[in-house]
Amino acid sequence: MARKLAAGNWKMNGSLAALAEVDALIGDLDGGCEVLLCPPATLIAPMAARATGSALMVGAQTCHPATSGAHTGDLSAAMLAEAGATHIITGHSERRTDHGETDGDVAAQTQAVLDAGLIAIVCVGETEAERDAAVTLNVISTQLAGSIPEGAAPAQIVVAYEPVWAIGTGRTPTLDQIADVHAHIREELSERLGAAQADHIPLLYGGSVKPGNAAEIFGVQHVDGALVGGASLKAADFGPIAAALAAS
């Protein structure tokens, strides 16, 4: 069975003052699931220092595929690991859209994460137009095949399904829609890696997860956690989501 993971993505939000939320969150963790926060790169080191000795893990939101070089403004996976990151998100829909990242780019980044000894949270998901055109599962299959490098160690992979049309909109797919996609992801991973390996890869749902809907989402088969956006910025919101996952 896959481990449970509640992951928070702060996106381009937060400041040193916001780290007070980390103290509040740490006080609420009961160890019933893994908990991760991915702040902006400027906050990784101070957040990791704050989390030392606690159950909270700290991650990054992206990385450059190269280990070093003339890439102004970019950070390598090794640099992020040195700052305290244990996980790195790759292929988030906002990176794919805002920065034009392709499946090939995501695969290269994911390989860099694995090479650095970290865990990659590989994001896949369809747009509203793709959902309306009834090609969601085809899109997911293509992204999985193109974004996870060959030979990837299952222990270093987490897959997050984020319906692009539900991110930050307040819209949430039905539980049946979530179940269908997560079952499809598990099947695709099983065909590629074998069921024994695929069953240990956490599958996260990411799309307007809130304290009020977390429990029912975590009750869906093959949903092993969540990749949470805005609700991860406040301990009062993210703490109950992690608690709901621990209780699921």
Q: What is the pLDDT of residues 55-91, one digit of tens each?
A: 999 999 999 999 999 999 999 999 999 999 999 999 9
- Could you identify the residue written with the tokens 């099947």? 187
Distance, first Cα to last Cα, the chain: 13
pLDDT at 6: 98
| pLDDT band at residue 167 under the 50/70/90 scheme | confident
Q: Which residue from 55, 74, 73 is spatially nearest to 64, judged by alpha carbons?
A: 74
% the chain with pLDDT above 90: 93
- Cβ–Cβ contacts within 10 Å for residue 193, how many? 18
| pLDDT band at residue 1 under the 50/70/90 scheme | confident
**Gap between the Cα atoms of 98 and 95, Å rounded:** 5
> Looking at per-residue confidence, does 35 or 172 come out higher?
35
195 pLDDT above the threshold of 90 = yes
Q: How far is CA 43 from CA 18, 47, 54, 116, 157, in A?
A: 10, 6, 17, 20, 24
pLDDT at 30: 84
Q: Which residue from 196, 197, 214 is spatially nearest to 205, judged by alpha carbons?
A: 214
H-run or E-run covering 122 = strand 119-124
For residue 90, the cross-strand partners are 122
The per-residue pLDDT for range 227-237, each reduced to its tens digit, is 999 999 999 99
Least confident range of 26-40, 48-62, 134-148, 163-177: 163-177
Least confident range of 123-127, 132-136, 169-173, 221-225: 169-173
The per-residue pLDDT for range 106-164, each reduced to its tens digit, is 999 999 999 999 999 999 999 988 999 999 999 999 999 999 999 999 999 999 999 99
Residue range 216-234: average pLDDT?
97
Task: Please state the domain extents for the chain.
Answer: 5-247
The per-residue pLDDT for range 112-121, each reduced to its tens digit, is 999 999 999 9
To the question of pTM greater than 0.85 for the whole model, the response is: yes
pLDDT at 236: 97
Q: What tokens appear for 220 in the block?
A: 């869906």
Average pLDDT score, the chain: 96
Helices (H), the chain: 20-28, 41-51, 77-83, 93-98, 103-115, 128-132, 136-147, 175-193, 195-198, 214-218, 235-247
Q: Which residue from 110, 116, 36 is spatially nearest to 82, judged by alpha carbons?
A: 116
pLDDT at 8: 98
Helices (H), 133-228: 136-147, 175-193, 195-198, 214-218
Active centre residues (catalytic): 92, 162
CATH number of the structural domain 5-247 = 3.20.20.70
